[in-house]
Amino acid sequence: MKFESGNGVYSMDKWRKSDKKIAKELFELARKRDYANLIDIIQLKSKNLTIPETIWDLREFLNYKAKEFDQKYDYRYSVLDQVFANFIREDLLSLDEFQSLSKEKQDQIQHMVNILGKLS
């Protein structure tokens, strides 16, 4: 996919070696934050386990979250700009945390955020 900014036309699925390392760190940071949020929710839900049926509700919830995580955490470079834009939309990462990436990648991620409807 091609992306045009004021600085030129870029391929959205091309990643520089230096950007790949930073992207992996940011990806793992988002995952860590998401798991921390999930643990908090599980702890709250487990406090409300008062009858046996609520155990199965918790299992259903965990199955749903497992599928959601499997879909959300896709580290293919061809979709990583969109994955990062979704992390921003979900407040797992902020645009400021992408400052270490090349300007080109920052622009591409900002473009995806705009496409997905969250203007900063």
Angle, helix 103-115 to helix 80-89, in steps of 10 degrees = 60
Give residue 43's pLDDT: 95
Give residue 13's pLDDT: 61
* Amino acid, res. 76: R
pLDDT at 14 over 90: no
> How far apart, in whole angstroms, are the C-alpha atoms of residue 89 and residue 112?
10
Between 3 and 13, the more confident residue is: 13
> How far apart, in whole angstroms, are the C-alpha atoms of residue 110 and residue 69?
23
Residue from 72, 65, 76, 102 nearest 86 by CA: 72
pLDDT digits (tens, 9 = 90+) for 40-92: 999 999 988 888 888 999 999 999 999 999 999 999 999 999 999 999 999 99
Give residue 48's pLDDT: 83
pLDDT at 4 over 60: no
* Contact between 83 and 74 (Cβ < 8 Å): yes
Look-up: residue for tokens 């997905």? 116
